Every structure is written in C-alpha cells, then in structure tokens.
Amino acid sequence: MIRKLILAPAAFLLLLGGSSCSSKLGTLSAEDFTVTPQPLEESGGSVPFTINGRFPEKFMKRNATVVVTPVLRYAGGETAAVNGATFQGENVQGNHQEISYRLGGSFTMRSRIAAYSPEMLRSDLYLTFKATVGKKEVAVPDLRVGYGVLSTATLLGNALAAEGCAWSEDRFQFAIAQKQQAQIKYLIQQTSIRTSELQTTSVQDFLKTLRDIKADQKAYQLDNIEISSFASPEGNVRLNTELAQGRGKSSSAFVENELKSLGLEAGIASRYTAEDWEGFRELLEQSNIQDRDVILRVLSMYPDPEERERQIRNLSAAFTELADEVLPELRRSRLAINYVVFGRTDEEIQDQYKTDAAQLSADELLYAATLTDNDVEREGVYVTAATLYPQDYRAYNNLAALAYQKGDLELARRYAEEAVEKAPDAAEANANLALLTMAAGRSGSNFEEEVQGYLSKATGAKNYTAVLGCYNMMCGQYATAAKNLKGTKTNAAALAAILNKDYLTAAEALAACARQDATTNYLRAIVAARTGQTEFVVPNLKAAIALDPAFRQRAAHDLEFAKLAADPAFQQILR
C-alpha cells in the first residue's frame, strides 16, 4: 500500500511532464489569416500586403519559437517576402512577440515581394513556418492565404508610349514690333536744335531707320512716332513749361521735315513735361555726387517743386555739381519710331529651305518643321537645323520627341542627352529624359534618383506635371498622380483614375485621348469590368488585341477579367 502511494504521484508527474513537453504544436488554418489586398496588387514595382493573423488557443507551446515567412509561388519559381515575423512562447527568452499558450494571440505583419515580375499574375501566397519546441524542430504545414497579383498599375509602361515628349518651340514671329529711339539735347533756356545734335549716333540711327522703312515697305510698317520733351527742374514753372513746349515744337518740326523729304506718312504723338523731377531722381541715383543722399531726402521731404529747388540751391557745392552733371541731361527731347518688321512668309521660308537652308535662322528652321505633318520631312528639317546650328539644343530635343513618337527609345534618349549636354537646364529636354527613363522601366539601383534629378530641372516644361504624375504612379502614389494628371486626357491620366477607383474620370480621359491605341482599348475593358458593364469588356479587348497581339496573353492571365473566365466570347478572343 505504501509502495502504491509512492508510485502514483511519480506517474502523475511523468504524465504532466509529458504533456507540457510535447513536441507538437497546435493546428493552424488558412481561416486564421487575412491578407489585404486580395488579390494582391503590384505597386511601385513591388507587391505590398498586410497579413492580420491569429494563433489559436493552445497552439504556441510555452517553449516554442515560430518563424513565419510569406512566399509567393508561381509557375517556374517562388519569391519570399522581404521580411517575415518571429513569435515565441511564454517561457522563451527573446525579444519577439509573445503568444500565450492558453489564450493564443493576434498579430499584424506588413511585408512585400520586393520585385514584381509578369509570372506573378497567376500565383498563390503561402505562409511557411520554421518552428522549434525546445531544441527540436517541428513541422508546420504551409498555408495558402492569398492568390494572384493584380498588375493593372504596370500598364503605365504601355501608357507612357502615348504620353508624348515635350517639344522645343521656335521663337519665329512673322511680325515683330520694334522701337528706334533718339535723343536731342538743348542748351539751358533754349528751344532750337543745334546742328551738332543732329550728327549724334542716336539721331543718325533714327534717320537710317526711317530710310530703311522707306526703302522696303514690304519688310517694314511704320506705325507712329512719339516725341517727349522735357525741361530741367531749376527755375520757375512758367518758364520751364514754355521751354518744354518749345522743344516739343522744334523736335516735331524736325521729324515732320524728315518724313516729308522721304515721302513717308506717320502720326506724331507729342507731349511735354515741364519739370522732369523723375528724370532728375534717376540720374542723381546713378551719379557719384557727394551729397546725393542728402538731395534725395530733400526730394522726398518737399512735395512743392519750388521749395525743392530752393532747398537744393542752399546746398551750393552740390548744386554746382548738379548744374554740371545732371541738369544738362534733362534738357532734351526723346524721339521714338514705332514700327513693325515683317519676317519671311511660310512660302518664302519653304522656298528658302529648298534652295539654301543656310540662309534661314535657327528659329526659321524650327518653324519650317511645323509647316509639314510628314514626320520624315520634319526629321529632315531638324537634322538640318542641328547641322547648321549645332549649339542650339532645340533641334536635338525635337529629334528626341520624334524618335519617341516612333517608339525608338534608344535613339530618343541619345538625342535628349545631346540636348541636355548643350543646355543642361533646358526644361523640356530634362522632362523628356525623365519620361524616357521611366519608359525604359526600373533598371538599375539609382532609378528614382535619376528620374528625380531630371524632374528637378524640368519645372518649366509644358508637360512637367504630367511627367511628374507618371512618376508618382510608378512610385505607387496614386492619389498624387491623379492630382498631377488632372485635366490631362491621356492613357496615363485614365490609369491613375482607375487606380483611384474614379471610373467616371477614367472613362472621360479615355474618350478624349488624342492618340487612341491598344492600351486605350485595354483600359476601357478594365473600366467596363470594374463597373459591371461586362457587355463592353470583350469588344474593347478584341480591339486592343487587334492593335497589339501581346494583350491576348496578358488578358488570359489578368485578374481584372477573372469573372469572365468561363464566358465563351471571352475564351474565343484568347484563342
């Protein structure tokens, strides 16, 4: 009897120890884990996801450690997520999340598949487990918790093809407003024009312009002549008024005689300023007169012209300098011819290009390229412009735009790089290099740094916000992308709207796309599928495949059309 009493507790302890030291973990089910989003989605070149999970009661032994790693499996391979999570039982000494044996525990894991590839379209997300109880490794079956990758965002690569480069504009103007000015100076209290003043360079240039206008009235158009006459501000206002008026009359008479002798007609607008205090201030500020600052203060303190003059005269030394250096410059008449210079007509530019293009300016050549819709002819004009004006970046940039339009990204990049080499801060060339870098895809570890560098110098380009929006989309910043592409009617703008679930805006952008291509039709099919208009899916897919057969294989695996997998019409277009 005594022996039984001793053995019973021992057996009990053995059983207890066997129970607590069991090498088995509890059972897990896929229902214990929720993956968001479902299906997975490509974003910014990777596949991010969040797993919310729960270990059930009595799963985690007190001395157990479990490492959970998400793995995406697809035909031909698998890719582990960039990070997993480690959990431990209550008796394990460590820094990982502790899971109660009796109560279980919940967790949230945020991870991603680092680099998306097209094979992942049809795939499954598994949770794999590496578990130990004590020092013994135990097996935990893999669990399938997610499926497929929605890769609609990757259509940006296709959408960029229709986005278009920024063109460099010519500065050619058929009619250019010009102004030729001259100045006639007068002696103190005089209104007659001295012969010496008519021999000055400014007056001679003024007269030469009138002769040029008379000689070629096809190239020039005389609008009018302005005459502004002034008196210096010393003396009384009445005298200065008479002087300014008199100088205006003598200047007008001089101009009228010249017009008459040349047989030209033009309106003459004459005005006068009795006391030129503004001109006085400007000349004083530019001078080296010792008491300049004192005199400027006097000008600001005394609004009355006569009081100003008295106060300035009190500065006798300063007034002497003013009389010698400043006041003589204010006794004058300013003459200005307003006229128009006409450039070559479109026909003249085209004829000149055919006979001797070297006689055309860089702007005339760039303008000549806009006079044809034939891309081969345009390319020839830009090549000529680049040859004749090798330091002008604009022809190279436009050659890049043409090459991009033809789908030759390598040639487009060479031309764009040459444009930036000649003009490092040229906004449109930098915008185009940003676009070309994105169109080439994420190649190289410095992809984002390279695009950002180009964008930093592209702010003045007309397509800057559109290119920036495309970059936002490539980085997975869909809301920002939609904002930057707002109002743009392109495939890229439609894609940004789709990714933000704004299907009305997407449909409007697609309807107004200037370049309707295979991607336009494929995006229409996606909008139709997402909005339940299944009758429009197959026609748009059919149109997309007709323009680009590569869309057939994509559509066959695209989860956007998963609900149509059994539809006979859908199956038919995939054959």
If asked whether residues 120 and 250 sit together in one domain, one would say no
Residue 192 is assigned to a structural domain of this protein: yes
Sign of CA dihedral 100, 102, 108, 109: positive
| Rg of the chain (C-alpha set) | 41
52 part of a folded domain = yes
Pair (180, 225) in one structural domain: yes
For residues 131 and 115, what is the distance between their CA atoms, to the nearest angstrom?
27
Q: Could you list the residue range(s) of the whole structural domain that residue 64 is in?
A: 22-150
Residues 227 and 301 in one domain: yes
Residue 92 lies in a domain: yes
Mark whether 125 and 190 lie in a shared domain.
Answer: no
Residue-level pLDDT at 198: 95
In a domain, 347, yes or no: no
Taking only the tens place, the pLDDT of each residue in 345-365 is 999 999 999 999 999 999 999
In a domain, 495, yes or no: no
The answer on 259 and 201 residing in a single domain is: yes
The pair phi, psi for residue 549, each rounded to 5°, is -60, -20
Report phi then psi at 50, rounded to 5. -125, 135
- Decide if pLDDT at 21 tops 60: no
CATH of the domain at 293: 3.30.1330.60
In this structure, the strands spanning 85-88 and 64-74 are antiparallel
Q: Look up the CATH number of the domain holding residue 81.
A: 2.60.40.10
Q: Domain end: 289, 321, 342, which one?
A: 342
> Does residue 123 lie within any of the structural domains?
yes
DSSP string, 337-388: EEEEEE---HHHHHHHHHHHGGGS-HHHHHHHHTT---HHHHHHHHHHHHHH
| Same domain, yes or no: 125 and 198 | no
Res. 300 pLDDT band, cuts 50 70 90: confident
**pLDDT higher than 50, residue 9:** no
Same domain? 235 vs 286: yes
In a domain, 536, yes or no: no
Shared domain check, 322 and 183: yes
The number of folded domains in the chain is 2
* pLDDT tens for each residue of 529-556: 999 999 999 999 999 999 999 999 999 9
The tens digit of pLDDT for each residue in 226-244 reads 999 999 887 788 899 999 9
> Mean pLDDT over all residues of the chain?
90
Q: Are residues 140 and 182 in the same domain?
A: no
pLDDT for the residue numbered 449: 92
Provide mean pLDDT across the span 127-142: 95
Q: Is there a single domain that holds both residue 317 and residue 184?
A: yes
Check whether residue 110 and residue 211 sit in a common domain.
no
Quick check: is 136 in a domain? yes
